[in-house]
Every structure is written in structure tokens, then in C-alpha cells.
Structure 1
């Protein structure tokens, strides 16, 4: 692990080491395991691209039968949200009557998750809950409940563990915060 990295024009310093991330993923997986024990094959829906590492590690810690799918939304350019959510790839199969767990890398303003929840609720699932690796309570502006929060952070811009700065930094196993 490097203490300082450079991505494009910005420098980032380590904020959360991989070990702390793993502890948080284990804790949220334990809650999901307890809540969904006995449910008929819940569906985990990962929001690409950022959630791929979290989704992979989370699913390895889930101890009930489940299915996986992915959607792709876009709302960021550079280091800030555009305020507009674009659906790039969506669900193909029916989710009617299913328990759905949306897996996000980060929930900040809530624009993307609100957009996605409207779409999912229209498909008449039995339930839909949100699981996020990072939640920014200081930025959140929506009313959608975020039931499963692995970690809460401030409003800083972070990269690593699936999160990027203009497509760089996703493969880092630790979380870094911008320094300049």
C-alpha cells in the first residue's frame, strides 16, 4: 500500500485500509444473513461500475442461496455529481414478488438510488433494500431509507475498492482521499 498516489491531476492519501473495509463488509453481511435467513432466493443487484469489488466480497460472506444481477447508472463527472442520472444497462428479468437487495459502492446525494428505487418498485418486488459500502449522511438529500450501511464517511472525495476518479483508482484495495 502506498501512502500517497497520483491519479490524473490529483494526489490522494490513504484513508481506510483494506483490513477495515473487510471488517465493515463482514459486519454488514452478518446483518443481511440474519435478516434474509429463510427467504426464498433473494436477488442482489449491484450498481456498476463502482460496486463490483464490494459486491464480490459481500456475496462471499452471504450464507443463503441468492442470485446476482447488475445495472449500470451514471451520475458523476470528475469529482462531483452532475445531478442527472442516466441508466446505461438495466435488469432483464422479472423481479415481481422477489426480495431485492441493491448493492451500491457509495450513497451521497441519493439521486442515483432514488432513480433506481423508482424503477425497481414499479416492477412489484416483495421488498427492496439498499446496501452501501459508504454512506455520506452530510450529502444525502433524499428520503429513500438506506438500511445496510457498511461505513459512514464525510463529504470527502474518495477512490479505491471500486470507486474511481475519471476511471482511475478502481483496482486499489484501500480507500484514498483527495489531498489537492
Structure 2
């Protein structure tokens, strides 16, 4: 689905499909260089990171393995609750592994800070983060993100895996959701 298909639900378009793919290719090139000669475990955070994870994995040239976690701090609202729940855990033993958490967006940083500490406690050799979007003004905790795509304003964004009430994930671009849609 294209952003133009839901124009009435958007305040603005942030990034087109091409801009997103170009940024992911840039991030993949950095990751390939940093982990040359190693096998990297990508840990995608469901559901939002599905698109980023798929495109990043295809853009990488180094050997990778993939696993998924589902953690939640949102429910159906637009604000992070700060309480993290594991909905689906990893199937992979992290002992001695180089791990790259792949995220769609970082806003408060609370979930990602908790997730990094959780994965480090499982014996990973290293745990780094790759996120397509980051909202610096929404940060409640400082999270070191080694591979950050775009920095965005503190607005509610949808598309390319990002949703509102499970809608809009399949948009090929990223846009700012109009307030009349979510009632704020």
C-alpha cells in the first residue's frame, strides 16, 4: 500500500520507499564492514521490525542468523507504558554470540534499554542496536544506538512496519499519522 492510498489519514510524508531502502543499504554497508569475517545474530523485535529486518538481512553480505522476540510496552495506545512484557522469547542460545537488535523505532528508549540488558545477561559476546528511526526528543533513557537511520520529531508515525491499532504496517513509506485518526 502506498502513502497516497491513505492521504486523508496523514499529516505528512516523512520518507519514501526509496529513501528507506537507501538508508538501509547504508546501514548494511556499515554493519558488513564492522562484522567482516564474523557470523552475526540479528534479533528482530516483533511486530514493527519485520520490514526493517527483512530488508536489512537481504542487504547484508556477511553470514547472519535471525531470531525474533516480541516485547511490548504499548498496548493499543500512542504512548509507551514503560512496562516491558516478553510475549515471544528467542529460540537461540546467546552465549558468546555477537547480537544485533533490529528495531523499527526508538522513542522513550525504555523497552530497548531493558531488552539490551536482558540479552547481555544471557551471555552474548556483544549486543548492539540498529534502528531505522529514532525520536531523540521522546527519550526517557539514553540508549547507545550503533546504527541509527533517521532522527525524527516526536510525532506519531506509521508505515513500513509501524502501526496504529495494527493498521498501516504494510505502507511502503513512512508518514505522520493525523491526530484526527487517533483522537489526540
TM-score band, normalised by the shorter chain?
over 0.9
Task: Within 5 Å, give how 1:15-94 maps onto structure 2.
Answer: 15-39=14-38, 41-76=39-74, 77-94=76-93
What is the deviation of 1:4?
6.5
Give me the whole-angstrom Cα distance separating, in 1, the residues matched to 2:56 and 2:25.
7
Aligned-residue offset at 1:86:
1.2
TM-score (norm 1): 0.93
**Secondary structure of 1:84's partner?**
coil
Q: CA RMSD in A?
A: 1.5
State TM-score, norm by structure 2: 0.91
- Give 1:153's aligned residue: 152
Partner in structure 2 of residue 171 of structure 1 = 170
Q: Report the CA distance shift for 1:97/1:17 in structure 2 as closer, same or farther (over 3 A).
A: same
Offset of 1:2 from its aligned partner? 4.1
> Which aligned segments of 4 or more residues in structure 1 are displaced greater than 4 angstroms?
none
How many residue pairs get aligned? The number is: 176
Contact 1:25 1:150 in 2 (8 A): yes
Find the aligned partners of 2:137 and 2:27 in 1 and give their Cα distance.
Answer: 21
Does the 8 Å contact 2:67/2:92 carry over to 1? no
Shift of 1:78: 2.2
User: Cα distance, 1:141 vs. partner?
Assistant: 2.1
SS in 2 for 1:64: coil
Q: Which whole-Å deviations, capped at 9, do the CAs of 1:109-146 have from their partners, x for residues lacking one?
A: 01110111121011111111000010111112223311
Contact 2:104 2:133 in 1 (8 A): yes
Question: Could you tell me which residue of structure 1 aligns to residue 182 of structure 2?
Answer: none
Q: Which runs of 5 or more structure 1 residues have no equivalent in the other structure? A: none
CA distance in 1, matches of 2:19, 2:89: 32
Contact 2:98–2:125 (8 Å) recurs in 1: yes
Say which SS state the counterpart of residue 153 (structure 2) adopts.
coil
Specify which structure has the higher proportion of strand: 1
In structure 2, stretches of 5+ residues that fail to align are 180-184
